[in-house]
């Protein structure tokens, strides 16, 4: 199963704001292994917002990720677009400070990805997250597609 989750975070450092966004998405306890954007054949896909327990802390989890971390005073926006077809599918991820720019780039990118794969009239879905700045703190928005359960790393 592939789960679409997302989060927003703010903190005093860029890395801490990313960690806070992952915590909101329910994925802060895993080592994330970033994948390219192909959806395996017959993989069920669900939109959750926050991930359930996917295994032990410290395990590795495969993800497709859009992540924007912005400096203090700047907004962050990130999004995933996808088409989930019989037999296969594709994700497209975009990061920016402007959510409308993210939406436009997602639409253009996913349409191009579908065209490259010969998908006719694909049903396109997307999730865009915007995180507003909070004073002198870094801001992160992230949307992730988490593949399956986590696995022991070592």
What tokens does 126 get? 């997307």
How many distinct structural domains can be found in the chain? 1
User: Where is average pLDDT lowest: 54-63, 76-85, 97-106, 112-121?
Assistant: 112-121
CATH code at position 29: 3.50.20.10
User: Where is average pLDDT lowest: 44-48, 61-65, 119-123, 133-137?
Assistant: 119-123
| Percent of the chain with pLDDT strictly greater than 90 | 86
> Distances from the Cα of 79 to the Cαs of 5, 24, 53, 101, in angstroms?
11, 16, 23, 10
| Domain, as residue range, for 111 | 2-151
């Amino acid at each position: 199963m592939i789960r679409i989750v997302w989060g927003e975070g703010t903190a005093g450092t860029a890395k801490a704001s990313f960690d806070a966004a992952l915590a909101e998405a329910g994925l802060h306890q895993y080592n994330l292994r970033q994948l390219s954007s192909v959806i395996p054949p017959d993989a069920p896909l669900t939109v959750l917002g926050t991930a359930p327990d996917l295994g032990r802390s410290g395990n590795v989890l495969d993800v497709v990720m859009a992540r924007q971390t912005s400096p203090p005073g700047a907004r962050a926006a990130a999004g995933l677009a996808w088409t989930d077809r019989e037999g296969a599918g594709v994700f497209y991820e975009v990061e920016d400070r402007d959510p409308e720019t993210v939406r436009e780039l997602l639409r253009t990118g996913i349409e191009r990805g579908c065209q490259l794969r010969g998908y006719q009239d694909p049903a396109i879905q997307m999730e865009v997250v915007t995180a507003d700045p909070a004073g002198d703190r870094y801001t992160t928005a992230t949307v992730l597609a988490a593949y399956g359960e986590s696995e022991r790393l070592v």
